[in-house]
Amino acid sequence: METELLLFLHLLGLSFWIGSMVLLVILLLAVRRNLTSWNGTPLFLWITRLVTRFLNVAALVVLVSGGGLIQMLGYTQASKPLWIKLMEQGGGLTLLLFIVVMTWFGNRARKQLRAPQDPARSDVPKWMTRYSTALSLFATLAVLVLMVVSFRVS
Ligand code: HEM
pLDDT at 7 over 70: yes
Q: Kindly report whether the global pTM for this prediction surpasses the value 0.85.
A: yes
CATH class of the region 2-150: mainly alpha
Q: Please tell me if the CB atom of residue 20 comes closer than 6 angstroms to any atom of ligand 1.
A: no
- Whether the CB-CB separation of 39 and 116 falls below 8 Å is answered with no
pLDDT tens digits, 63-80: 999 999 999 999 988 889
pLDDT tens digits, 130-149: 999 999 999 999 999 999 99
Q: How many angstroms separate the CA atoms of 37 and 119, rounded?
A: 11
3-class state of residue 105 by DSSP: helix
What spacing in Å lies between the alpha carbon of 75 and ligand 1's midpoint? 12
